[in-house]
Amino acid sequence: MSSMIYASTRGDRTEVSLSDAIVRGLAPDGGLYVPRQLPSIDPAALDAAALGAAHRLPALARVALRGFFEGDRLEAKLGEIADAALDLPAPTTAIDAAPDPLFALELYHGPTAAFKDFGARFLAESLQRTRGPRDERLTILVATSGDTGGAVAAAFHRRPWVRVVILYPKGLVSPRQEQQLTCWGENVESLRVAGTFDDCQRLVKEAFVDPALGRRHRFSSANSINIGRLLPQMVYYVASSLEVRRATGRPANYVIPAGNLGNAFAAIWARELGLPIERIVLAHNANRTVPDYLASGEWRPRASVATLASAMDVGNPSNMERVRALFPAFATLRTRITADSIDDAAIRARIVADQRRFGRVWCPHTAAAAEAYARLPAGDRAGRPWVLVATAHPAKFNEIVEPLVGAPIEVPESLARLLSLPRRVTDIPPTLGALADAIA
């Protein structure tokens, strides 16, 4: 039986299995793991899974991800991984008051009220099933601009075989996000870095390739650089696109809040597998690296700037490596995705406008997507089904949203529990030496 092989986006010839790619997180040359070629998928089997299962996402994952797991030691365990990780709601709900076909893909119904729950839970279940009885303890380093760290902490908390170290930028996440990053203890450690998200991400990458640290720790990553995070994110695009096609008879178009590009790349991969997805629009905040690249053809990463949509405050998005590896010709790449940049004033205005027009309250990230949709030419919206990807619950950003809508936002029960816990955090400067000391 053939096996799916994974290799680095940067050309390292070392080929690994899926489970090895998941455990390693980052390739030895600093690149990101991708399959040598995308697998095929059976549309009839997908349709049957979508229509016939009470637990829709696990059933779809069995079909959609089978080729990625082919020949791997985790292949026989894909079903139980999906059952444990993806038993979460991800409804695509119609926005009935919109003049054109408009939907919201609600990805905030998990334990930390953000889309990162899907990938983090799937990664935790996958890693647990790669463990041997004599394997040394893993140390997972995770850089976060807001939501990733909380989701990873929730997914890995109290698993004795792993230590989680969260790095987040001081003063650049919302108060409730910070609470979710620091309320765990036990096997989860929180490091507040005196810098930006890009500094946090740089420290993680430096630690991965540092020989001395590599001898002391068995590192893995839970950021979207880890392919174990990306694969389950494809599944909700599979489910959503099939649902939109059944409802409208047309392929779905997505507007996705974009930061490190993991969620966006999952949608791109789903489309490349043949799912009924047409256009993909990336909604960035004032961090314009990707919109400027698509306009000029010149890739110019830069320092990130702080915005209301803090989880998207990324100036050097890692997953652009995967995008460029998939579409090496720039002329092709710019036909496959488009991007817009939304500033804080427009985010605020959109939260107010859509609450009044549609009765929907968005988090700042989802509001960026809603504004990007509103800016599309009328001809692009008319008759075409568009889906706004709602990546986080607005209650996570109550200090921003509530004054705009003039009402308190109900806090989901799972989030309320986390908000009641004590904080534990260590402050460090943005240096590899400080990180090494903190995790010694």
Q: Which of 67-71, 130-134, 158-162 has the lowest mean pLDDT?
A: 130-134
Q: Nearest to residue 171, comparing CAs of 200, 144, 194, 153?
A: 194
DSSP 114-157: BTHHHHHHHHHHHHHTT--TTPPPEEEEEE-SSSHHHHHHHHHT
Q: Nearest to residue 70, comparing CAs of 101, 38, 31, 23?
A: 38
Query: CA 372, 376, 379: angle at the middle one, nearest 5?
Result: 160
The average confidence (pLDDT) of the chain is 94
Query: 396: pLDDT confidence band, cut at 50, 70 and 90?
Result: very high
3-state SS, residue 421 = coil
Q: Are 199 and 171 in contact (CB under 8 A)?
A: no
Phi, psi (rounded to 5 degrees) for 340? -135, 155
pLDDT per position as a tens digit, 126-154: 999 998 888 889 999 999 877 788 999 99
Q: Are 1 and 51 in contact (CB under 8 A)?
A: no
Q: Nearest to residue 262, comparing CAs of 282, 279, 243?
A: 282
Over 60: is that where the pLDDT of 162 sits? yes
- For the chain, what is the radius of gyration of the CA atoms? 20
Instruction: Look at residue 54 in the predicted model and tell me its pLDDT.
Output: 56
pLDDT per position as a tens digit, 373-387: 999 999 999 999 999
What is the C-alpha to C-alpha distance for residues 201 and 260, in angstroms, rounded to an integer? 10
Q: Are 120 and 166 in contact (CB under 8 A)?
A: no
What is the C-alpha to C-alpha distance for residues 263 and 258, in angstroms, rounded to an integer? 7
Q: Are 57 and 88 in contact (CB under 8 A)?
A: yes
Instruction: Look at residue 52 in the predicted model and tell me its pLDDT.
Output: 65
Phi, psi (rounded to 5 degrees) for 258? -130, 135
Over 90: is that where the pLDDT of 173 sits? no
Q: Nearest to residue 193, comparing CAs of 172, 212, 214, 175?
A: 172
Tell me the mean pLDDT in the region 90-109: 96
**Token digits of residue 93:** 């709900």
Beta strands 92-94 and 102-106, pairing class: antiparallel
pLDDT per position as a tens digit, 11-54: 877 899 999 999 888 898 889 999 999 999 988 888 888 776 55
Instruction: Look at residue 26 in the predicted model and tell me its pLDDT.
Output: 87
pLDDT above 90 as % of the chain? 83
Over 70: is that where the pLDDT of 281 sits? yes
Instruction: Look at residue 371 in the predicted model and tell me its pLDDT.
Output: 98
Torsion of CA 91, 92, 97, 99, to 10 degrees: 180
Tell me the mean pLDDT in the region 52-63: 82
- Structural domains of the chain sorted by starting position, each given as residue range(s) with its CATH number in brackets: 89-115+228-408 (3.40.50.1100)
Instruction: Look at residue 55 in the predicted model and tell me its pLDDT.
Output: 59
Please write down the long-range contacts of 158-163, taking CB distance under 8 Å and 24 or more positions apart. Answer: 158/186, 158/187, 159/124, 159/128, 159/187, 160/187, 161/128, 161/131, 161/135, 161/137, 162/127, 162/137, 162/138, 162/187, 163/137, 163/138, 163/139, 163/187, 163/189
pLDDT above 70 as % of the chain? 99
What is the C-alpha to C-alpha distance for residues 263 and 301, in angstroms, rounded to an integer? 19
What is the C-alpha to C-alpha distance for residues 105 and 199, in angstroms, rounded to an integer? 31
